[in-house]
Homo-oligomer: A and B are copies of this chain.
Amino acid sequence: MAKQHARVLKGFRDYPPADMMLRQRLMEIFRTVFEQHGYEPIDTPALEYLKVLTGKAGENEKLMYHFADHGGRDVGLRYDLTVPLARFVAMHENEIVLPFKRYHIAPVWRAEKPQRGRYREFYQCDADIVGSASMLADAESISVMADAIHAVGLPQAVILINHRRVLEALALLAGVDATHAGGIFRAIDKLDKIGTDGVRKDLIATGITERSAGEILSLVSQQGSTRELLATAKTRLADVDGGPEAVEELISLVHHLDGLGVHRNSWKIDFSLARGIDYYTGPVCEARVESPKVGSVAGAGRYDGLIGNFLGRQVPATGMSLGFERILEVVREHELVGTPATPADVFVAYLEDTAAEASRITRQLRQEGLRVDQSILDNRGLGAQLKYADRKGITLAVIPGSQELDRGEVSVKNLQSGSQSAIQLGILAEELRSRLGL
């Protein structure tokens, strides 16, 4: 028989059962957290008009899988969930109620060079609020992020909070307007990597004076309580265009975070946080896990300029995105969320002379909510069947021997310990449940 070559594209992966069960469990946890916060689920097509995905500026086209379809239309696989959200809001304007709180857990595709931990197909996990300029919405974003991170037991995560317009005010202080401030933001963002001296050098290299660099550094590297940091920013930026409003927003945000009970030790103000994505217009956040040192696991921010692209008017929006694949890696490595090796709780063995009884027992256990793998190995001996169940990761096997059945019993074998005992049929489901800790 000629053999066809089996392979997957580089940067793409299969999810075998153990992987898939953990992925499904994480998604379930995140869905629960999102819905507890009143976010509603949506989904959008994997394939969209390329023009919709790239926008007016034709951005990110290089990152996209795109091609001409059978009708000659230029189409592409979605590369994020934010552009589809903007398109969705415009097309469903009359059905949805603003502010619209939606979550979206779905794969995206990027034609990037695959690296360790980076794939060409991966899941994004976003929760956004469209149509509210209130800092209550930004606080809700951070609250849902903190709860999601907490729900998967991620140890020692801290959410850094800054405001894009605080950064812009800092650049203005140095005489650089927002549209030319990219170099300054990038320099500031490296503070925890290259230290104050390194940042000072980088800042000066952007063309600003040493004095301006010093002014910027004294704020972004300041240590202190939230109250102290905000007070300093308020003073320093008092006369800079947009500065006071940005600081007021942060003060309001902090106030709402306290109200929502987001623990003070789960977040902190960090004026050096820039976040790469350039569509942010307000508060920006990043969740970092310090121990184990896995870095950023989630991001958030306000982006008032993007959602309205398809509506022709500005629509405020803020949201957060969990780094699903990254979190999954950490959860797996540190065994933070337990999932079984296989869905089945119990294996029911096949014996020629009691086949009908085995099926009846299987049916009963399933009706009582147990997950039962009934043996289909009618051509194999009992030993081979039990080995099969053990290799699949099932702990308990029911063996319906005819002698036991005559006494109204079956044997139950623990495939890990090897111990075996007879159980009355009347209490079988209950007994199995108790042994499984269900």
With contacts A8-B48, A260-B359 known, what are 19 further pairs, Cβ within 8 A? A7-B49, A8-B45, A8-B49, A9-B49, A17-B96, A20-B42, A37-B373, A38-B344, A38-B371, A38-B374, A39-B343, A45-B121, A47-B77, A67-B68, A97-B388, A99-B377, A101-B373, A258-B356, A261-B359
Q: Which residues of B contact A36 (CB under 8 A)?
A: 366, 369-372
- A350 in the interface (beta carbon within 8 A): yes
CB distance from A382 to the nearest CB of B (A): 15
Q: Restricting to A350-401, which residues have a CB under 8 Å from any CB of B?
A: 350, 355-356, 358-360, 362-363, 366, 369-379, 388, 391-392
CB pair A14–B1 under 8 Å, yes or no, is no
Given contacts A38-B344, A391-B97, contact A17 B102 (CB under 8 A): yes
CB pair A37–B102 under 8 Å, yes or no, is no
CB pair A4–B42 under 8 Å, yes or no, is no
Assembly CA distance A9 to B71 (angstroms): 11
Given contacts A65-B69, A376-B137, contact A310 B9 (CB under 8 A): no
Residue of B nearest to A41 (CB): B20
What are 5 inter-chain pairs, A to B, with CB distance below 8 A? A6-B90, A14-B45, A20-B43, A46-B109, A47-B120
- A182 in the interface (beta carbon within 8 A): no
Q: Restricting to A61-113, which residues have a CB under 8 Å from any CB of B?
A: 65, 67-70, 73, 75, 77, 87-88, 90-92, 95-97, 99, 101-102, 107, 109, 111
Assembly CA distance A11 to B311 (angstroms): 23
- A209 in the interface (beta carbon within 8 A): no
Stretch in A51-59, A157-165, A169-177, A222-230 with 4+ CB within 8 Å of B: A51-59
Q: Restricting to A134-151, which residues have a CB under 8 Å from any CB of B?
A: 134, 136-137, 140, 147
CB pair A392–B48 under 8 Å, yes or no, is no
Q: Which residues of B contact A65 (CB under 8 A)?
A: 47, 67, 69
Q: Which residues of B contact A371 (CB under 8 A)?
A: 35-38
Assembly CA distance A121 to B391 (angstroms): 37
Q: Which 10 A-B pairs have the closest CB atoms?
A: A38-B373, A259-B359, A3-B312, A67-B67, A17-B40, A35-B343, A12-B45, A6-B310, A6-B90, A38-B344
Assembly CA distance A42 to B145 (angstroms): 28
Assembly CA distance A136 to B362 (angstroms): 13
Residue of B nearest to A389 (CB): B97
- A21 in the interface (beta carbon within 8 A): yes
CB pair B312–A2 under 8 Å, yes or no, is yes
Q: Which residues of B contact A221 (CB under 8 A)?
A: none
Q: Which residues of B contact A311 (CB under 8 A)?
A: 3
CB pair B359–A4 under 8 Å, yes or no, is no
Residue of B nearest to A140 (CB): B376
Q: Which residues of B contact A360 (CB under 8 A)?
A: 259, 261
CB pair A343–B38 under 8 Å, yes or no, is yes
CB pair A134–B378 under 8 Å, yes or no, is yes
CB pair B16–A42 under 8 Å, yes or no, is yes
The listed residue (B31, B37, B373) touching A372 by CB distance below 8 A is: B37
CB distance from A32 to the nearest CB of B (A): 9
CB pair A362–B260 under 8 Å, yes or no, is yes
Assembly CA distance A12 to B70 (angstroms): 14
CB pair A92–B14 under 8 Å, yes or no, is yes
Assembly CA distance A35 to B373 (angstroms): 9
CB pair B48–A46 under 8 Å, yes or no, is no
Q: Which residues of B contact A256 (CB under 8 A)?
A: 355, 359
Q: Which residues of B contact A137 (CB under 8 A)?
A: 376
Given contacts A359-B260, A372-B36, contact A75 B9 (CB under 8 A): yes
